[in-house]
Amino acid sequence: MTASATQLYLHQARDVKSVEDCMTVYDKWAATYNDEVGDEAQSYVAPVLVAQAAIKYKSNKSPADSIILDAGCGTGLVGQALAIGGVKAIDGIDLSAPMLDVARDTGVYRNLAQADMTRPLNNVDETYDTVVCVGTFTRGHVGPDPALRELIRVTRTNGIVVATILDEIWEPHGFKAEVEKLKAEGLVRVMSEDLIDYVKGHGDKAVLLILEKVNKD
């Protein structure tokens, strides 16, 4: 597929106005997504940076003993980076069934399920040691509420959530305010709000958000 076609999908993804439109774009894009977005020419570094942070800021368990949820897993770029880092138990959720099919072919996921992150998740409370989320908190995709609170809910106490949030929507779309709210409620400790490269060399920046779920008792 040509670079112009790749940019077309990218622009469509960032301009969607509904969950249904988002699903349509990614369903069409799934088969070629990794080649177009994950290659060296695109320098899509966010999946590796998040996987590295998740392993560095892990709970008291080793990567091999941790259970991780890849929320908005797409075709499995983050899952593959986690597996390289020694993680054995990775579950993934995503809106697009064709994306999940590609992720399944990587062989790194324990379980995969279709989920709409603009709604409450079906996952049980306190299930995961770590939750990662890359490429989902961007233009035209998932907003801060209820998604951030849901990711915290399914994380175990003292576990962490590691997510990228596109810098241009961090404050205007209410993500910073939602994090402050979760902090004020005593649900999380903020470990990072650092700015990182999202797509290296293209000027895209993202907030690397790392939250630790705290014990309220």
What would the two tokens of residue 1 be? 């597929």
Task: Give the pLDDT of residue 182.
Answer: 98
Torsion of CA 95, 96, 102, 104, to 10 degrees: 40
**Is beta strand 128-137 parallel, antiparallel or unpaired with respect to 155-166?**
parallel
| 8-state DSSP, 173 | T
Task: Express each pLDDT in 85-137 by its tens digit.
Answer: 999 999 999 998 988 999 999 999 999 999 999 999 999 999 999 999 998 99
Task: Give the pLDDT of residue 4.
Answer: 41
Exposure b/e, 83-106, CB count within 10 A at least 16 = b: bebebebbbbbbbbebbbebbeeb
Domains of the chain by range and CATH?
A: 43-213 (3.40.50.150)
pTM: 0.82
Task: Express each pLDDT in 57-90 by its tens digit.
Answer: 876 678 889 999 999 999 999 999 999 999 999 9
Among candidate residues 204, 214, 152, the one with its CA nearest the CA of residue 178: 152
Q: Which residue has the higher pLDDT, 78 or 199?
A: 78
